[in-house]
Amino acid sequence: MGLQPFLVLSSALFCIGLFGVITRRNTIGILLGIELMLNSVNINLVAFSRFNGSVAGMVFTVFTISITVAEMALGLAIVILLFRVRRTAMADHLDLLKG
Amino acid sequence: MTGEAVAFYALSAMLVVSALAVVLSKNLFHAVLWLALALTGTAGIFLLLDAEFLAAVQLLLYAGGVVTIVVFAIVVTERLVGETITQTNRRIAGGALVCGALLWLLITTVLERPLATERPIMPDDLTKAIGESVLTRFVLPFELLAVLMLAALLGAIYFARPEE
Amino acid sequence: MRTDPGTLALVSLLLPLASFFVLAIVAPFRRLGRPAAYFSVLCATGAFAAAVMAWLAQGESTIPTLHLWEWLPGQGKSLATVGVLVDPDSTVMLMLVTLVALLVQVYSLGYLHEEPPKGLGRYYTYQSLFAFSMMGLVLSPNLLQLFMCWELVGLCSYLLIGFWYPKPEAARAAVKAFWTTKLGDVGFLIGIVLLWRSAGTFDLTELHAMVQSSTLPLAGLSIITFCIYLGAAGKSAQFPFHVWLPDAMEGPTPVSALIHAATMVTAGVYLLHRTSWLFALTPDVLLIVAWVGAFTALLAAVLACVQDDIKRVLAYSTVSQLGYMMAAIGAGFSAAGFFHLLTHGLFKALLFLGAGAVIHAVGTNDISKMGGLARKMPITAIVFLIGTLSLAGIPFFGGYLSKEEILGAMWAGGLPGPFAVLMLVAFLTAFYMFRVVFLAFYGPSHVAASHGELVMTTPPDEGKIVHDQPGPHSSHLHDPPASMLLPLLTLAALAMFVGIYSTLIGPLLPAEAAEHAAPGWLTPSAVGVAVVGILLAWLTYQRRTINPESLASAFGPIRTAALAKFWVDDAFIFVYERVLLTFARVVGWTDRYIVDGVLNMVSAWTLTAGDDLRTIQTGKAQDYVYGVAVGVLALILWMKLS
């Protein structure tokens, strides 16, 4: 088992997550896509860390997980707030920045 | 094929399938459940990479914490659980094309590079090593992380405060 | 009092400027009219006194006195200076300018006594500025300052010719004078700039030194001198730029005197005299100057013969005399031209002020409506006669020696063609001037009986408005009041003095001593043609031995052409209306539809493109993520392929 399979797996997860971010209508769905992408990054970090023999990547995985959780908590709070104000959670209804 | 490889490919298949289900499932609630499965699978991958501590953290924080709050959010925002309105937008073909092309490019790039195949020797107790690094070499990012967490906590409280 | 001529000249220069500033800035004082006029006259008197003292202090010395201030700092030495250059030429000229300016200002006190106080104040403000600019021009140590004063002079003449601006002819004449001279000024400016490029300095003394040491590059010098000549031709009314001068008669008569005698038109001649060492290096340009001068003299003299307006006769005679001066400069004897400039300044001012007195009394410019005035206005008639004899070049009168010198210069310069032309002009000059004298001052009167009704029933001649129209009081024909008479007598005395002195003793000023030996037959023949001219006028207009009509019909075609001003004005109008306006229309069309069209099209495209482009800003976060994904994809592809 070399490094390559892990990276291929991580790439696949990343692209699936990106696809979710681009296509999901629901804001919560978009957040789920982001989770997938971050997850793939974590796999990447741990895999490189293991195959390079350095513990740093794992430490950073700890950090990213924490940050992800914080981001998730805030993201969901925003979603709930948006829903309160606009009565919708659909991302394509939120186009106040339209040019 | 070693047992390790078998485990890896099984986990990989599970991960890809559940990830696809997360992004394609019409029911958001189901999508969250699929995400929980994907996160658990990731914990398995961590185990394969000798990172037991991270696998534990993954399970606790993600599969335990994140999924729970997402379920709460869905309950608050979706009027009908199990509603089957269209969950994808018009970008579906374009998105698939772009993501597919990106995936293809990434995989070919990974495959054409000579990458490490042997795992170097690492300390037996990786958890201890991680803990020591966090409090020595990475103490500053660690403290910053604490500040970030505090800010996120305050932010979440601010957003979620009752309407006046 | 210090005896440094430079300081005195500076005082003389700054007095009119002070007067101008006081009158221009202190509006209540200016609007008082008379007090403002007295103040201006006082300053002019001071300026004249200082100019005389400067002349006396300069004395026989030919060493120039320089007072310079740095104006535009440059690398090493200053790019341009301002200051005064005092030498024999400039002091004499300064004296003439201040004298005529002073006399004209005094004269105007009487001439413009009906002008409302506000107008009078404005008049004296312009007069002060005019005097200052001309003096600044005369004293200029460099071409740049000279050009600035040159333009100021042009501006002042515009303001004064158009002094009665409610009168359409006056406004039009002012604009005409301005634009016609401006046409030449463009050439002058180009000439100065070109000269600076090749010599690296504006300074007259430095340029002179370069010429003397032969370090001035000769390449392209002909173009430079020709350009400078263009400016001088515009100001000094050389053909074809002479068209503005007769029209400038629309201004008050004292202004005409000032413009014709001491300022404005003399500026061109003075400029060429100042830079004569430069022109000496370009004989081809000098030849042009001489021929154009002679031709202008002839053309204007012929035109003067058919005019009935007394001021226009004088105007054309000025053009003609300027042609004389230019011809002398062209022959290479600029001192002769300058000498004539000085004497002409005296007697032309005299003639104009005399004509002003006549117009003031009679109320018209038309000599056919005068006649027999010598009995009613004896003093005016005498001084006018003195001026006329001076202009004709009769011995013992002002213009005698200077005219002789010019003719001698032409002969000595080896230009028999222009010499012959100028002899003919001398004859014509005597003829047309005495035609005026006989028609206006002698013979049967056409005024006395009918003058009272004439003013009331006949529309004023040539659209004169009330300003130039004497009031009812002037139906009593008499010599003008003291304020007008004094300048007349002063000028007449000076003209006589110069004439007698130069006839009996020789040139008045050492600088104007003859530079050439005139052949012995010159004096008799020059005086002879003048006498013949006078005789012809006498026979035609006094004795009526020759019928004026038959004389006119003998020169039918020329007369017709002269009455049409030889179609020079028409040529200008043709060039303006046909060529320039057509060109302007083409340019305007190109600008409107092609230049603007392209710009409008570009701006319209930009607007449309902006409108179209803003639709890609959907405001949806996912679309931006999509864009980022596409961008990343493109980036990776590019990295892979390159």
| pLDDT, position C603 | 93
On chain A, the residues whose CB falls within 8 A of the CB of C619 are 94-99
How many CA atoms are closer than 13 Å to the CA of C380, on its beta-carbon side? 28
Does A44 map to a domain? yes
| Whether pLDDT at B80 is above 60 | no
> In Å, how far is A85's CA from the nearest CA of chain C?
17
Query: Could you read off the pLDDT of C401-439 as tens digits, one per residue?
Result: 778 778 888 887 777 888 888 888 888 888 888 888 888
Does A32 map to a domain? yes
Query: Could you read off the pLDDT of A22-59 as tens digits, one per residue?
Result: 888 888 888 899 999 999 999 999 999 999 888 899 99
Q: What is the residue-averaged pLDDT of chain B?
A: 85
> In Å, how far is C624's CA from the nearest CA of chain B?
12
Q: Give the residues across from C65 on adjacent strands.
A: C86
Q: Give the residues across from C67 on adjacent strands.
A: C84
Mean predicted confidence (pLDDT) in C149-158: 89
> In Å, how far is B88's CA from the nearest CA of chain C?
11
| pLDDT, position C312 | 85
B-chain residue closest to A78, CA distance: B159
CB C314 within 8 Å of CB C321: no
State how far the Cα of C374 lies from the Cα of C388, in Å rounded to an integer.
14
On chain B, the residues whose CB falls within 8 A of the CB of A38 are none
Mean predicted confidence (pLDDT) in B93-109: 89
Geometric angle at alpha carbon C13, from C9 and C16, rounded to 5°: 145
| Whether pLDDT at C211 is above 60 | yes
Q: Give the residues across from C142 on adjacent strands.
A: C203
**What domain range is A63 assigned to?**
4-93
Greater model confidence, B160 or A75: A75
Q: What is the residue-averaged pLDDT of chain C?
A: 81
| pLDDT, position A11 | 93
At C388 the three-state DSSP class reads helix
- The mean-pLDDT minimum among C70-84, C216-230, C276-290 falls in C70-84
Greater model confidence, C399 or C641: C641
CB contact under 8 A, C622 and B89: yes
CB C318 within 8 Å of CB C445: no
On chain A, the residues whose CB falls within 8 A of the CB of B111 are 4, 8
**Percent share of chain C, pLDDT over 90:** 3
| pLDDT, position B79 | 60
| pLDDT, position C524 | 78
Greater model confidence, C573 or C450: C573
Whose CA is closest to C332, among C255, C399, C278? C278
Query: Could you read off the pLDDT of C583-617 as tens digits, one per residue?
Result: 889 998 998 888 889 999 999 999 999 888 888 88
Q: Is C637 on the interface with B (CB under 8 A)?
A: yes
- How sure is the predictor about B3, in pLDDT bands with cuts at 50, 70 and 90? confident
- How sure is the predictor about C2, in pLDDT bands with cuts at 50, 70 and 90? very low
Distances (CA, A) of B66 to B54, C281, C535: 16, 100, 129
- The mean-pLDDT minimum among B13-22, C81-90, C532-541, C602-611 falls in C532-541
Mean predicted confidence (pLDDT) in C346-353: 86
Nearest CB to B94: which of C626, C636, C640? C626
Query: Could you read off the pLDDT of C535-580 as tens digits, one per residue?
Result: 787 777 777 766 666 666 666 666 676 666 667 777 777 777 788 8
Chains touching A (at least 3 CB pairs under 8 A) are B, C
CB contact under 8 A, C616 and A91: no
| pLDDT, position C1 | 43
Mean predicted confidence (pLDDT) in C344-373: 81
Q: What is the DSSP letter of A26?
A: B
- The mean-pLDDT minimum among C12-26, C124-138, C563-577 falls in C563-577
Q: At what angle do helices C378-392 and C334-362 cross, to 10 degrees?
A: 150
| pLDDT, position C451 | 43
Share of chain C residues as helix, strand and coil, in percent rounded to the nearest 5? 75, 5, 20
Distances (CA, A) of C451 to C250, C363, C463: 22, 9, 17
Of chain C residues 570-629, which have a CB less than 8 A from chain A? 614-622, 625-626, 629
Q: Is B113 on the interface with C (CB under 8 A)?
A: no
Query: Could you read off the pLDDT of A51-81 as tens digits, one per residue?
Result: 988 889 999 999 998 888 888 888 888 888 8
Residues 6+ apart with CB under 8 A from A48: A3, A57
On chain C, the residues whose CB falls within 8 A of the CB of A23 are 622
| pLDDT, position C110 | 82
State how far Cα A71 lies from the chain centre: 9
- The mean-pLDDT minimum among A60-64, C122-126, C260-264, C320-324 falls in C260-264
Residue ranges per domain, chain B?
3-88, 123-164
Total tally of structural domains belonging to chain A: 1
| pLDDT, position C450 | 41
**Percent share of chain C, pLDDT over 70:** 88
Greater model confidence, C467 or C249: C249
- How sure is the predictor about C457, in pLDDT bands with cuts at 50, 70 and 90? very low
Whose CA is closest to C337, among C423, C236, C434, C432? C236
Structure tokens of C220? 């392209």
| pLDDT, position C449 | 44
Mean predicted confidence (pLDDT) in C68-97: 81
| Whether pLDDT at C314 is above 70 | yes
Does A99 map to a domain? no
| pLDDT, position B42 | 92
A49-83 burial: b if 16+ Cβ within 10 Å, else e: bbbeeebebbbbbbbbbbbbbbbbbbbbbbbbebb
Mean predicted confidence (pLDDT) in C179-192: 88
> In Å, how far is B2's CA from the nearest CA of chain C?
35
Q: Is B152 on the interface with A (CB under 8 A)?
A: yes
On chain A, the residues whose CB falls within 8 A of the CB of C620 are 91-92, 94-95, 98
Residues 6+ apart with CB under 8 A from C383: C350, C354, C488, C489, C491, C492
| pLDDT, position B44 | 92
Does A98 map to a domain? no
| ipTM, 2 dp | 0.88
CB C388 within 8 Å of CB C437: yes
Does A81 map to a domain? yes
CA quadruple C451, C487, C305, C417: dihedral, nearest 10: 180
Q: Is B68 on the interface with A (CB under 8 A)?
A: no
Dihedrals phi, psi of B25, to nearest 5 degrees? -55, 135
CB contact under 8 A, C625 and A21: yes
CATH number at residue A17: 1.10.287.3510
Interface test with B, best of C625, C628, C630, C638 (most B CBs within 10 A): C630
| Whether pLDDT at C455 is above 50 | no
CB C181 within 8 Å of CB C161: no
CB contact under 8 A, B51 and A59: no
On chain A, the residues whose CB falls within 8 A of the CB of C629 are 18, 22
- How sure is the predictor about C473, in pLDDT bands with cuts at 50, 70 and 90? very low
| Whether pLDDT at A88 is above 70 | yes
On chain A, the residues whose CB falls within 8 A of the CB of B52 are none
Does A26 map to a domain? yes
| pLDDT, position C374 | 73
State how far the Cα of C279 lies from the Cα of C272, in Å rounded to an integer.
8
Residues 6+ apart with CB under 8 A from C444: C371, C372
Q: What is the DSSP letter of C509?
A: S
Does A40 map to a domain? yes
On chain B, the residues whose CB falls within 8 A of the CB of C630 are 98
Give the range with max mean pLDDT: C196-205, C289-298, C363-372: C289-298
> In Å, how far is C620's CA from the nearest CA of chain A?
5
> What's the 3-state SS for C217-247?
CCCCHHHHHHHHHHHHHHHCCCCCHHHHHHH
Q: Is B84 on the interface with C (CB under 8 A)?
A: no
| Whether pLDDT at C474 is above 50 | no
| Whether pLDDT at C248 is above 90 | no
| pLDDT, position A69 | 87
On chain B, the residues whose CB falls within 8 A of the CB of A46 are 45-46, 49, 51, 54
| pLDDT, position C516 | 59
CB contact under 8 A, A92 and C620: yes
State how far the Cα of C120 lies from the Cα of C113, in Å rounded to an integer.
9
| pLDDT, position C324 | 86
On chain A, the residues whose CB falls within 8 A of the CB of C614 are 99
State how far the Cα of C242 lies from the Cα of C233, in Å rounded to an integer.
8
| pLDDT, position C487 | 84
| Whether pLDDT at C467 is above 50 | no
> What's the 3-state SS for chain B?
CCHHHHHHHHHHHHHHHHHHHHHHCCCHHHHHHHHHHHHHHHHHHHHHCCCHHHHHHHHHHHHHHHHHHHHHHHHHHCCCCCCCCCCECCCHHHHHHHHHHHHHHHHHHHHHCCCCCCCCCCCCCHHHHHHHHHHCCCHHHHHHHHHHHHHHHHHHHHHHCCCC
CB contact under 8 A, C633 and B105: yes
B-chain residue closest to C623, CA distance: B91
Interface test with C, best of B91, B92, B107, B111 (most C CBs within 10 A): B91
- How sure is the predictor about C456, in pLDDT bands with cuts at 50, 70 and 90? very low
Mean predicted confidence (pLDDT) in C336-361: 84
Does A12 map to a domain? yes
- How sure is the predictor about B100, in pLDDT bands with cuts at 50, 70 and 90? very high
> In Å, how far is C588's CA from the nearest CA of chain A?
40
- How sure is the predictor about C305, in pLDDT bands with cuts at 50, 70 and 90? confident
CB contact under 8 A, A21 and C620: no
Of chain C residues 605-624, which have a CB less than 8 A from chain B? 622-623
- How sure is the predictor about C8, in pLDDT bands with cuts at 50, 70 and 90? confident
Residues 6+ apart with CB under 8 A from C642: none
Query: Could you read off the pLDDT of B110-133 as tens digits, one per residue?
Result: 888 888 888 888 887 888 888 899
Please name the CATH architecture into which domain B3-88 falls: Up-down Bundle (1.20)
Mean predicted confidence (pLDDT) in B34-50: 91
